[in-house]
Amino acid sequence: MNALPSHSKIILHVDMNAFYCSVACILNPALRGKVFAIGRENSYRGVVASASYEARALGIHSAMSLKEAYDKVPNLMVVSLDHSYYVHYHHLFLNLLREYSDLIEVASIDEAYVDITELSAQRHPLVIAKEIQVRLLKEVGLPCSIGIAPTLFLAKMASDLKKPLGITILRKKDVSEILYPLSVKEIYGIGKKTYPKLIEHHILTIGDFMKEENREKIISFLGQRNYDYVVSHIEGKSSNIVDPNRYSDSESISTSVTFDRVIQSEAEILYELRKMTNEIVRKMTQKKYYTKTITVTFRTTEFKTMSRSHSIEQYTDDFSVIFDVVTELVEEHYHQEALRLLGVGVSNLILEKDLPQEYNLFTLPTEDEKEERIQELMNHFQQKYGKEALFHGKDQWKKR
């Protein structure tokens, strides 16, 4: 068996295979081996949330409109389940993982990172991974693929290499051999808007992406910061910290909206997030809270959830400052995915009475200054996205 170096962290990325369809098959075994999808039953409205492997073989995929799916496979069976069933099996999945480590970071409802460094001192990580995979299938009924690597990014990349029911070890020294031949679109985090541009300019594989001769061309698409970020991740220089509390601040305020339609326009996303940001600021004002950390959450039509945060230097309760951060997070991390949920949250909170002494009447903006900043922000967005993209009026700020 190939082992990871003894000084490395050993991290598993456990990724359920067709999770929603697997849960449906547990509840109705007659679905096993059938061509079916998860979505709204008896309707041409909405999108495919997930598809069985048999349906995928016929061209059905997540985020496809149900109308298109029926056009492609007229006898497609569409199944709808209450979300509580998925949550139930999500908890069964996590409970089993907790038997192997206390360091578990939930990435979404159907995937998690597990630090098994300590346990691997007694048992080979491949044996541990295989045991988890077999137990999840036999005891819970959920098939999964597992990546084993020294960083979170490489573990995620490894788990995608063999599906369904695969296990892959990816060491830093094997990155060029295993990852470089893959299509550039397989890089985790490269958006659907970006990789076609790379392919168009003959950057076809991850190996091409890593070539020095393509550096300036790629930077022109991604920017220096994002380019350096991706390269360092591929080289195995990214985080190896599995943090169970990464997205669970004890003191926070958040709100989210689940939509009955696909949200995929950046202008519409910012319009919805602006209303949520206003609601957050209203709650902060009522409780006299100030924040330094802002988080935006996206959930795709596949129920994949991504939360991204940014911390600012000074505490604020200023709508324009907070929404400016929200906008930056969207522009940096949203890549044209079809979304079903949006959310905004603030954390790292402090009460006004507990603010450091340097926060006084001379540093905190007045109401007139806040209004002026908001107007500047609105003007900026209307110039960028059109006059109807954002509305300036209290009646438009209310959550629907």
CA atoms within 13 A on the CB side of 377: 23
**Contact between 172 and 219 (Cβ < 8 Å):** no
Q: Taking the mean position of all CA atoms in its chain, how far away is CA 167?
A: 22
Whole-angstrom distance, CA of residue 141 vs CA of residue 14: 15
The active-site residue, picked from 41, 99, 105, 111, is: 111
Per the listing, tokens 């609601």 go with 279
Amino acid at 294: I
Those residues with Cβ within 8 angstroms of residue 34's Cβ, 6 or more apart along the chain or in another chain: 52, 54, 77
Q: Verify cis geometry, omega within 30 degrees of 0, for the bond prior to 5.
A: no
**Contact between 206 and 185 (Cβ < 8 Å):** no
Tell me the pairing of strands 339-347 and 289-300. Answer: antiparallel
Whole-angstrom distance, CA of residue 218 vs CA of residue 211: 10
Catalytic residue list contains 186: no
Those residues with Cβ within 8 angstroms of residue 257's Cβ, 6 or more apart along the chain or in another chain: 272, 276, 341, 342, 343, 399, 400
Buried b (16+ CB within 10 A) or exposed e, 118-132: eebeeeebbebbeeb
Whole-angstrom distance, CA of residue 114 vs CA of residue 240: 11
**Contact between 385 and 379 (Cβ < 8 Å):** no
Whole-angstrom distance, CA of residue 42 vs CA of residue 108: 28
Amino acid at 101: S
Q: Which residues are 316's β-sheet partners?
A: 291
Per the listing, tokens 């007659």 go with 30
Residues catalogued as catalytic: 111
